[in-house]
Amino acid sequence: MIDRIKNTTRFLISNFGPLIGFYFVNHFWGFQMGVVVSIALVIIEFIWLKLKKLEIGRFFYFSSAMILCFGIADLVIQAPFFIKYEASITNLIFAVFFGSSLFKEKSIIQEIAESQGRTSTESSVDKIFFFKLFTLFWCLYFVGKAAFYLWLNSVSTLEEGMIIRLIVGKLSFWMMMFISIGLPRKIWKLFERLKIFPSQRAVHLSKAE
């Protein structure tokens, strides 16, 4: 249990540390300094992982690329139009990233869970099915958030929209994290009781024949 908590904490710091650093620095020293610090943290984290010769997952590369690209764009462009629609664009890109992993043997959520030590690296048809459902859940979350932000831009000012996005984004994200980290075992057992897993359905069909 302690190892799982350590692995989960390490994953959150590694992949979301730059974002946490951004929000902290942005609050006290301003937006531009927050962007600079988040970019610096990405570079430092990458160098540290390389020096330690630790495996770097797809999600780290993707989230780091997003922070670097949009962080630099924020510093260079600094246009209200870009700031207004940046959140919708980034959420759609995250949705595409998560959705594209559904066509691979292991979805991105399964890779993340395995890297955290919350599940073994052994695969089964039920396990692949379960984590692909979670990945689809995250994909739909990003699509829904992008649509909400797009609607929000049409009914609010830039300043109002940024405040609402900050509140909704944080609350919804940590709710998704709680579901993804705290509830999988309960959801797995529920699926077993409802006989949703592919192996259970295959047995049911064979008996029916």
b/e 128-141 (16+ beta carbons within 10 angstroms → b): bbbbbebbbebbeb
- Report the pLDDT value the prediction gives residue 9, as an integer from 0 to 100: 65
Contact in structure between 135 and 109 (CB atoms under 8 Å): yes
Is the model's pLDDT at 12 over the cut of 80?
A: no
Of the candidates 61, 67, 83, the one whose C-alpha atom is nearest the C-alpha of residue 163 is 83
Distance between CA atoms of 98 and 134, rounded to whole angstroms? Answer: 10
Is the model's pLDDT at 61 over the cut of 80?
A: yes
Domain ranges of the chain: 1-78, 79-209
- Report the pLDDT value the prediction gives residue 163, as an integer from 0 to 100: 81
What does the pLDDT look like over 156-204, one tens digit per residue? 887 788 788 878 888 898 899 889 888 999 999 999 999 899 888 765 5
- Report the pLDDT value the prediction gives residue 115, as an integer from 0 to 100: 78
Between 30 and 191, the higher pLDDT residue: 191
What does the pLDDT look like over 83-114, one tens digit per residue? 778 889 989 999 999 999 999 989 999 988 88
- CA distances 15 to 86, 108, 202, Å, are 20, 13, 38
Query: Collapsing DSSP states into helix, strand and coil, what is residue 172?
Result: helix
Give the number of other Cβ atoms within 10 Å of residue 146's Cβ: 20
Residue for token pair 């052994």: 122
Q: What is the pLDDT averaged over residues 34-50?
A: 82
Contact in structure between 164 and 148 (CB atoms under 8 Å): no
To 5 degrees, how large is the angle CA 24–CA 25–CA 26? 95
- Chain centre distance of CA 26: 21
Kindly tell me the number of DSSP H helices and DSSP E strands found in the chain. Answer: 9, 0
Stated as kind and residue range, the H or E segment containing 66 is helix 58-77
- Report the pLDDT value the prediction gives residue 1, as an integer from 0 to 100: 57
Of the candidates 120, 121, 101, 112, the one whose C-alpha atom is nearest the C-alpha of residue 11 is 112
The reported pTM is 0.78
Give the number of other Cβ atoms within 10 Å of residue 126's Cβ: 16
